[in-house]
Amino acid sequence: MSEHNFNAEYDVIVAGFGGAGATAARFASDAGAKVLLVDSAPSGHEGGNTRYAGQIVGAADDYSKMKEYIENLAEPFEPDEELVNAYARGLTEMPEYFKKYLDVEPFSVKKDWDNSKINLSEMLPEYPEYSGGDTYDVLLVHDGVFDAALWKILRKKVLERKDQIDVWYEAPIVHLITEHNAVIGAEIKRHGQSVRIKATRGVILTTGGFENNVQMKRDYLGYSNLAPIGSLYNKGIGIKLGTEAKARLWNMTNFESLGLQHGLEPVPEVSAQARLILSWPKLSNGSIFTVADDGTRYFNETEDNRHGHIYDHGMWRVPTNNVSPYVIFDEKQLVKIKADPIPWDKFEEQLIEAQSIDELNAKLGLQSGVLQNTVDQFNLEQETENSFDKFGRSTGTMNHFDDGKVYAFQMVQTMLNTQGGPKRNAQAEVVDFDNNPIDGLYSAGELGALHVNQYQGGMNIAECLIFGKIAGENAARHERKSLVTSDGFKTSDVDLKSDVQDREDTDLGENEYLGVSHQGMGDELRVKVHYENEKILNVEVLSQSETDGLGNKAFDKLTSDAVVKNTYNIDAVSGATVTSNAFRDAVKNALDKAKQTSNN
């Protein structure tokens, strides 16, 4: 029996308020635990990668086939059998999970999705050549994708349990507190100060991967320039915490991409997410190709990627990362690109123009003559009678480069998520190097995910739901091998109350009306509308939780348009459709109240 100076005590601490963390906290609470849920993101920006994902959740109708498919995806590696068994069982039970725990009727993409909206058919399964894949389906909570709908349900389940779950934002765990190889609490940064919180039953790590940690990307992947398209708060703290507890790490070299070509997107602003653009046909078809850092082509630009994996000698692999890949094209291709709506608002600003191939070669800093050789080889292959070039690209998608102006447009390889981290077992317990459970430490989600080698879309979020539930319930019921005591609690001037409180009433003046929407990426959006004599005089965004960058910037245009056009029914801002829909819904809500008041 030992004594420690703690500032507060909970049964269970959950690190990370994303899909896995929300699930773990909810089920730990339902099992009777008092829970502290902490996240490094500020309020309204929690959600991890679940918030930004397509909201698709893996499911299956045959347990044996699902096991076989998972094992085939992992080959030539052999995944943990008991872990695969638990996961496959969870996938087959997923439709019932939706009904029982999410309170929604599952929407089957295989049966009911309209592929004319976004073609998801190639995901079912993503690897049709592997046996067992025909059992796979993905589920939605409604008929929509990339709208944070699932995330908002998971978040709501936590907030409904605010009497049992305290939430701290901008409060990262910095260290685990251990004793005799058991995890007994955590040191947490709260309002700039460190507080020590006791966990009488356990700590659950759901902090996601290391997509935003440059050093870890270099150390574990050997890559330096991968742009995240998910949360900006996944910085690999779970790796550090796991090693503190002497956990075994696994699957550290595995990560997924998404986007154009093999998972490329236009270069984002500094410290910003890459914009996820799923379709831009003119960037792959015509007198156009993509080059690596040395100015040569390295893949089939028209091949559909499988979460960033492309075919490579019998296997699907994420290509070697290039620091500065460029799309190269001629004048006639630029005309074709501009003939269609361009999904990137900085295209003209980032376009590099040259009067000749040699001039462009120099502007890109390439070895003399390299780009000319690449263009010559491209033209030669396009002119042959062969149906495909050496990379497998159909020569029917290739047009001869003309003399004259040529252009380059820089791209960056994206990173959807990493899979590596502390290994867990089928009970969601984190294990040590000998595969023995570490007392009091659990995990769920993308941190230490079971996916190795090739990845099937929808499986990571399914893993959040399946192992989040297992981790929450098992941590809440965990009986310590030895009693952890404290000599009272050390007083602290840091506010330790939950950040989830009842919202205060909004002050409204004459002819001002409050509008609320729950359609935003971060759920609630609140506006104050000044409406008088059937005119919108002003719209003020009171609170919002939209994505940093484009989502936030969209409000300037949206508020202006609503006033100028005197309607909520304004055009969406390109690239911020979900945010625009939420804004319109909130303004409409306020106007409905105004009109109801005038009718009374």
Condensed to tens digits (0 to 9), the pLDDT of residues 96-112 reads 999 999 999 999 999 99
Q: Are residues 463 and 584 in the same domain?
A: no
pLDDT band at 575 (very low <50, low <70, confident <90, very high): confident
Residue 335 token pair: 């005309």
Q: Is residue 505 situated within a structural domain?
A: no
Condensed to tens digits (0 to 9), the pLDDT of residues 16-31 reads 999 999 999 999 999 9
Q: Is residue 168 situated within a structural domain?
A: yes
Q: Are residues 127 and 211 in the same domain?
A: yes
Backbone φ and ψ of 491, nearest 5°: -70, 150
Q: Is residue 503 situated within a structural domain?
A: no
Condensed to tens digits (0 to 9), the pLDDT of residues 440-461 reads 999 999 999 999 999 999 999 9
Q: Is residue 497 situated within a structural domain?
A: no
Predicted confidence at residue 577, as pLDDT, reads: 84
CATH label of the domain that carries residue 146: 3.50.50.60
Predicted confidence at residue 487, as pLDDT, reads: 55
- Residues 179/5, Cβ–Cβ less than 8 Å: no
Rounded to an integer, the average pLDDT of 205-227 is 95
Predicted confidence at residue 1, as pLDDT, reads: 40
Q: Are residues 320 and 443 in the same domain?
A: no
Give the neighbor-by-neighbor strand order of the sheet with 57-60: 57-60, 136-140, 107-108
Q: Who wins on pLDDT, 345 or 49?
A: 49
Q: Which of 413, 440, 471 is the last residue of a domain?
A: 413
Predicted confidence at residue 490, as pLDDT, reads: 64
Residue 12 pLDDT > 70, yes or no? yes
**How far is it, in rounded angstroms, from Cα 556 to Cα 583?**
11
CATH label of the domain that carries residue 546: 3.90.1010.20
* Closest-CA residue to 426 (of 474, 478, 477, 459): 474
pLDDT band at 596 (very low <50, low <70, confident <90, very high): confident
H, E, C per residue of 438-459: EEEEEECCCCCCCCCCCCCCCH
Condensed to tens digits (0 to 9), the pLDDT of residues 118-132 reads 999 999 999 999 999
Q: Is residue 379 situated within a structural domain?
A: yes
Condensed to tens digits (0 to 9), the pLDDT of residues 405-441 reads 999 999 999 999 999 999 999 999 999 999 999 999 9
Q: How many helices (H) and strands (E) does the chain have?
A: 16, 28
Q: Is residue 425 situated within a structural domain?
A: yes
Helix 459-476 to helix 81-92 angle (10° resolution) is 100
Condensed to tens digits (0 to 9), the pLDDT of residues 291-350 reads 999 999 999 999 999 999 999 998 999 999 999 999 999 999 999 999 999 999 899 999
Q: Three-state SS for 107?
A: strand
Query: Which H helix or E strand runs over 264?
Result: strand 264-266
Q: Is residue 502 situated within a structural domain?
A: no
Q: Which of 455, 489, 523 is the last residue of a domain?
A: 489
Q: Are residues 446 and 402 in the same domain?
A: no
Q: Which of 413, 431, 454 is the last residue of a domain?
A: 413
Predicted confidence at residue 525, as pLDDT, reads: 85
Q: Are residues 133 and 211 in the same domain?
A: yes
Q: What's the mean per-residue pLDDT of the chain? A: 93
Q: Are residues 385 and 422 in the same domain?
A: no
Model pTM score: 0.91
Q: Is residue 494 situated within a structural domain?
A: no
Q: Are residues 109 and 176 in the same domain?
A: yes
**Total count of domains within the chain:** 3
**How far is it, in rounded angstroms, from Cα 520 to Cα 573?**
14
**How far is it, in rounded angstroms, from Cα 476 to Cα 178?**
18
Q: Are residues 66 and 138 in the same domain?
A: yes
Q: Are residues 275 and 234 in the same domain?
A: no
Residue 486 pLDDT > 60, yes or no? no
Q: Are residues 109 and 216 in the same domain?
A: yes
Range of the domain at 265: 258-413
What is the DSSP annotation of 366-417?
Answer: PPTTHHHHHHHHHHHHHHSS-SB-TTS-BGGGB-PPPSS-EEEEEEEEEE-E
CATH label of the domain that carries residue 318: 3.90.700.10
Residue 166 pLDDT > 80, yes or no? yes
What is the DSSP annotation of 29-90?
Answer: HHTT--EEEE-SSPTT--BHHHHHS---EEEES-HHHHHHHHHHHHTTS---HHHHHHHHHH
Q: Are residues 38 and 107 in the same domain?
A: yes
Q: Are residues 60 and 194 in the same domain?
A: yes
Residues 6+ apart with CB under 8 A from 303: 261, 262, 310, 311, 392, 393
